[in-house]
Chain A
Amino acid sequence: MDWQGQKLAEQLMQILLVVFAVAAFITGYVVGSFQLMLFVYAGGVVLTTLITIPNWPFFNKHPLKWLDPSEAEKHPKPQVAVTSVSKKKPNKK
Chain B
Amino acid sequence: MHSFGYRANALLTFSLTILALMAAMASFSDNFNSPSPAAHVQVLNVNRFQNRPNGDDEIGMTLSISADLQSLFTWNTKQVFVFLAAEYGTPKNAMNQVSLWDGIIQLKEDAKFSTKVKNKYRFIDQGSNLRGRDINLTLHWHIMPKTGKMFADKLVVTGFQLPHSYR
Contact = CB atoms under 8 A, between A and B. Distances in A.
- The judgment on whether A and B are partners is yes
Please give me the 8 A-B residue pairs with the lowest Cβ-Cβ distance, nearest first. Answer: A6-B1, A32-B75, A21-B18, A53-B7, A45-B15, A10-B1, A34-B146, A9-B1
Interface of A: 1, 6-7, 9-10, 13-14, 17-18, 21, 24-25, 28-29, 31-34, 37, 41, 45, 48-49, 52-55
Contacts of B22: 21, 24-25, 37, 41
A43 B28 CA distance: 24
Contacts, number: 59
Nearest to B11: A13
Interface residues of B, number: 20
Contacts of A17: 11, 14-15, 18
Contacts of B2: 1, 6
Interface of B: 1-2, 4, 7-8, 10-11, 14-15, 18-19, 21-22, 25-26, 29, 74-76, 146
A19 to B, nearest CB: 11
B21 A21 contact: yes
Given A6-B2, A53-B4, A34 B18 contact: no
